[in-house]
Amino acid sequence: MASLPYSWSITTTSSPFVTRPSHILINAKRSNRFQVSCEQNQKGSTKSDDTSHGKIDRRNVLLGMGGLYSAANLVSASPAVATPLAAPDFTKCTKGTNLNTSQPLDVDCCPPVATKIIDYKLPPVTKMRFRPAAHLVTEEYVAKYEKAVELMKALPADDPRNFMQQANVHCAYCNLTYEQVGDSDLKIQIHNSWHFYPWHRWYLYFYERILGKLIDDPTFGLPFWNWDNPKGMAMPAMFVKPSSPLFNARRNQNHLPPAVTDLAYSGTTQSVDTTQIISNNLTVMYNEMVRNVQNLEDFYGARYNTGTQPDPGPGTVERGSHAVLHVWVGEATSSGEDMGNFYSCGRESLFFCHHTNVDRLWTIWRDLRGSKTKDFVDSDWLNASYLFYDENAQLVRVKVADTLDQQKMGYEFQKVDTPWLKNRPAASAKKSKIATTTAAPSVDTSTFPVKLDKVVKVLVPRPQKSRSKKDKEKEEELLVIEGIEVDTAKFVKFDVFVNDEDDNPNALDKAEYAGCFSQVPHKNSSLSKTKIRLGLSELLEDLDVEDDEKILISLVPKAGGDDITIGGIKIIYAS
């Protein structure tokens, strides 16, 4: 683990959400007592600070969320300081601020405040909840689901289980309305980091249990939108019946059935035939689930703890198919309500169907890992905590560690095919010489930052070449695109290609396509800086250019290029 990059002072404080008798607050600005000083370790160009899980920001860092740490232990073992993100104080929830205007947002996502909070324990599983594929459900199931949502919408407006209150759960956790416990200057954001999967798993878990209790069915499970399979790529029929409580009028009318989900969608409908869309979709899924995720951070997202800025870096599915599909469903407007904007997406029943598939993909990815490490063992991740209201309207505190076994959480998914798993894309041109003949500048001489208002091509040197199989198994070669600065209120997207000769931005079904970055709009507006990492080892094998000293990287803006700035590009090696 990387050591702390700053000097810190230590004081004591208290919090209503820490049950132990004392804990430690590390404060870089407000106290001069008991100094602890460490330096970040950085070595050479072939190893990067990206191989650590992140950097600690020069803000207040709250200790004690995962256990009691004494000051003496901190001094003797400062690199092991625990700073897991803590469940927020609901009494300090705000409307959030439009950072462009410094005015409060015109929406209030804050939940009801309860004085009693209990630490949640997973109940014994006596009956498994069954989550079916949405395109395969029976009429009986649809009727049951509609009844449950109807009853949820009929609950009193101030009941935390009410449909709109449940929608606000997502809004509050993603719209910068909660202060980080221990640092009022920093907010909580559960997207674009390693909190993405576990937080949403808890969200679905309680939402599902609330619906099941309302219809007195302990086996009721949410359906999953099987958009990674051609048979399930169209919007599920149960959600488009106007008389149904599952219906939402705020959708892109061009994308209603039988339109096929476009996981390469860029905000405008393009004349791409269905066959090409499906082929692109399968390549997108292969990249997100197989090619680009040899390391945990690349699938889960980057480390995000107490004391650090939001948006450190999203994982593959989050920044790709997940984000794109949000915008594909939402209204064809700049704000994209309901599904196409984080503040309002919980008002769309299809959101839960969409995220149930994301949750299913997490389960599949862990199974594909085999004997490899499936999860972070870092206590900063495992001990991170959130607050939810359960099916009895009780406010409960939950931890990431309890999400790692879905069987213990009491649900299972219907088994369906995963055609993308055998869809490794072939190269359009093997042994391409474009990196030696291009007029594109070298990254060493290029000017960064650069605005992505046009296609940007740059030659990136490879610190290592002709790597052995053992080398590749030990360390993944990764393309890092960093300092990605965007306005959080806007949908932005760009695609990344390696040694691409045909320059067809609509054809992603080829080995040259490395991946993408996309962002679902937020209600709030702020400038965010983040990064992405793209796996290169398998891609370079398929292109047969493993001996090349440089590769040509093409960044192709697909949406909001004027609002995207790239800070830099490099290659690293990470285990």
pLDDT tens per residue, range 322-366:
999 999 999 998 889 999 999 999 999 999 999 999 999 999 999
> What pTM, to 2 d.p., does this model score?
0.86
Number of H helices, E strands in the chain: 14, 22
Q: Is 376 helix (H, G, I), strand (E, B) or coil?
A: coil
Q: pLDDT of 34-71, one tens digit each?
A: 233 333 333 334 444 443 333 333 333 332 333 322 22
Does 326 qualify as catalytic in the annotation? Answer: yes
> By the 8 A CB rule, do 570 and 51 touch?
no
23 flagged as catalytic = no
Contact in structure between 171 and 95 (CB atoms under 8 Å) = no
8 Å CB contact between 271 and 347: no
What does the angle CA 480 – CA 485 – CA 490 come to, to the nearest 5 degrees?
120
Domain spans of the chain?
7-80, 102-422, 434-574
Q: Which two tokens stand for residue 306?
A: 């107490």
For residue 310, CA distances in Å to 21, 85, 175 come to 29, 11, 11
200 is in an annotated binding site: yes
pLDDT confidence of residue 452: 96
Q: Residue 53 catalytic?
A: no
Catalytic (active site) residue 220: no
Q: How many Cβ atoms are within 10 Å of 113's Cβ, its own excluded?
A: 12
Quote the tokens at residue 484: 């990605």
The residue with tokens 């407000």 is 30
What pLDDT digit, counting tens, does each position of 171-187 carry? 999 888 899 998 888 99
pLDDT at 101: 67
Give the pair of three-digit tokens for residue 424: 């490794």
For residues 516 and 564, give the distance between their C-alpha atoms in angstroms, rounded to a whole number.
13
Q: Is the pLDDT of residue 428 over 50?
A: yes
Q: How confident is the model at residue 29 (pLDDT cuts 50, 70, 90)?
A: very low
Catalytic residue among 191, 195, 255, 354: 191
pLDDT of residue 98: 67
The helix or strand, by DSSP H or E, that contains position 533, with its residue range, turns out to be strand 527-535
CA gyration radius, the chain: 23
The rounded distance, in Å, linking the Cα atoms of 197 and 273 is 33
Mean pLDDT, rounded, for 87-95: 90
Q: Residue 326 has which token pair?
A: 């949000």
Degrees to nearest 5, angle at CA 502 with 496 and 507: 60
Indicate which residue of 23, 53, 170, 255 is catalytic. Answer: 170
Among residues 23, 354, 355, 522, the one annotated as catalytic is 355
Annotated binding residue at 326? yes
Catalytic residue list contains 522: no
pLDDT at position 100 is: 62
Q: In the annotation, is 255 catalytic?
A: no
Q: Domain 102-422 adopts which CATH fold?
A: di-copper center containing domain from catechol oxidase (1.10.1280)
Write down the pLDDT at residue 20. 32
The answer, yes or no, to whether residue 301 has pLDDT greater than 60, is yes
Which residue in the list 342, 351, 388, 491 is annotated as catalytic?
342
- Of the candidates 53, 195, 326, 354, the residue annotated as catalytic is 326
Three-class SS string for 165-228?
Answer: HHHHHHHHHHCCCCEECCEEEEECCCCCCCCHHHHHHHHHHHHHHHHHHHCCCCCECCCECCCC
Q: Is the pLDDT of residue 453 over 60?
A: yes
170 noted as active-site residue: yes
Residue 41 pLDDT: 37
Cβ atoms 188, 178 nearer than 8 A? yes
C-alpha count within 13 angstroms, C-beta hemisphere, residue 379: 12
Averaged pLDDT score across all residues of the chain? 86
* Level-2 CATH architecture, domain 434-574: Sandwich (2.60)
